[in-house]
Chain A
Amino acid sequence: MASEEHQGSFIHPMEQFIVKPLFGDGGDVGTLTITNAALWMLLSVAAVAALTIWGTRGRALVPSRIQSVAELMYGFVRNMVEEVAGKGSMAYFPYIFTLFAFILGANMLSMIPMSFAPTAHFAITVPLALAVFISVTAIGFIKHGIGFLGFFWPKEAPGWLRPFLCLVEIFSYFTRPVSHSIRLGANILAGHAVLKVFAGLFAMMVFGGLGALAVLPLAMMVAMTALEVLVAFLQAYVFAILTCVYLHDALHMH
């Protein structure tokens, strides 16, 4: 490359994930400091609230455009909860819809250039997954009492294998919140980092005098952006559907 001396100092792919306070002198971050993470989470909540409130205002028989978007999202999540979580799960539909809408909003807003991706932070995805884990476990114990522990005891397996399978079941149950949260965080983190890597490559080539070749990383960025929009939707969907699966386990025990 023509710009050896610039390498590494151009754009750091992880720099976009730094949480910093928006107001004040950029000092320490307290509990109530408005950081860029807080701002973009608030914006995604506002976007979802605007869509649902505005969309249901008219309640027309022939829906307007915004109403049909809101209805589409509602129907999509409703179908998913009904199909995957099974009978008696409709009581938990608002929670799953909130999770889906918030994650979708945050993921989609983070696709805006120069914005911030709150869902790329484990500090935000881990509490989301832990809330699901704790509430689902609580639902299981409330619904089945101490019998919920039978969930970990595989009755169909041959007798001598059962204790080992029980250990495996317990282990896999406790890795659920780990994979649930890391999946969302890692996917968004990796996607945004890759976008920034190609952006840095593009800038390096343009300023390094390889203008014509810079089309390649630019084309790659366009393709990656399209893929990331898909991933943004898919990860929200996967997070919600896994919540439904865990809920199904708690309600119906396998």
Chain B
Amino acid sequence: MELEAAAALGKYIGAGLATTGMAGAGIGVGYVVGNYLTGALRNPAAAAGQTATMFIGIALSEAMGIFGFLIAILLLFAV
């Protein structure tokens, strides 16, 4: 009984810790968009051609946060 409680406790603490990984994704996405904006304001003529690249960058840096989210979901519902 106590073991089960400890396992549940660990599960929820682990899920909570896993979500902190998404903070990094937030920082990463902010970096990508911020740098895109810096570049775009310096050279607005070239900005339109690089929006697709920006979205690819966002998607790739978001991936790490998504893995954190996945771990949290797995801990909560699958383990």
Asked if residues B52 and A183 are in contact (CB atoms below 8 Å), the reply is no
Question: Which residues on B sit within 8 Å (CB–CB) of A186?
Answer: 66, 69-70, 73
Q: Interface size (B, Cβ < 8 Å)?
A: 13
Known contacts A179-B63, A183-B63; A241 and B69 CB within 8 A of each other:
no
Smallest Cβ-Cβ distance to A235: which chain B residue:
B59
Using an 8 Å CB-CB cutoff, how does the interface string of A235-254 with B read, 1 for contact, 0 for none?
00110011001000000000
Question: Which residues on A sit within 8 Å (CB–CB) of B69?
Answer: 182, 186, 190
A80 at the interface (CB under 8 A from B): yes
Main secondary structure of the interface of B (DSSP, over half): helix
Smallest Cβ-Cβ distance to A234: which chain B residue:
B55
Q: How far is the CA of A245 from the CA of B60 in the complex (A)?
A: 11
Asked if residues B70 and A182 are in contact (CB atoms below 8 Å), the reply is yes
A84 at the interface (CB under 8 A from B): yes
Cβ contact of A245, chosen from B49, B56, B63, cutoff 8 A: B56
Known contacts A182-B70, A186-B69, A186-B70; A241 and B56 CB within 8 A of each other:
yes
Using an 8 Å CB-CB cutoff, how does the interface string of B65-77 with A read, 1 for contact, 0 for none?
0110110010000
Cβ contact of B55, chosen from A178, A179, A190, A238, cutoff 8 A: A238
Question: Which residues on B sit within 8 Å (CB–CB) of A175?
Answer: 63
B33 at the interface (CB under 8 A from A): no
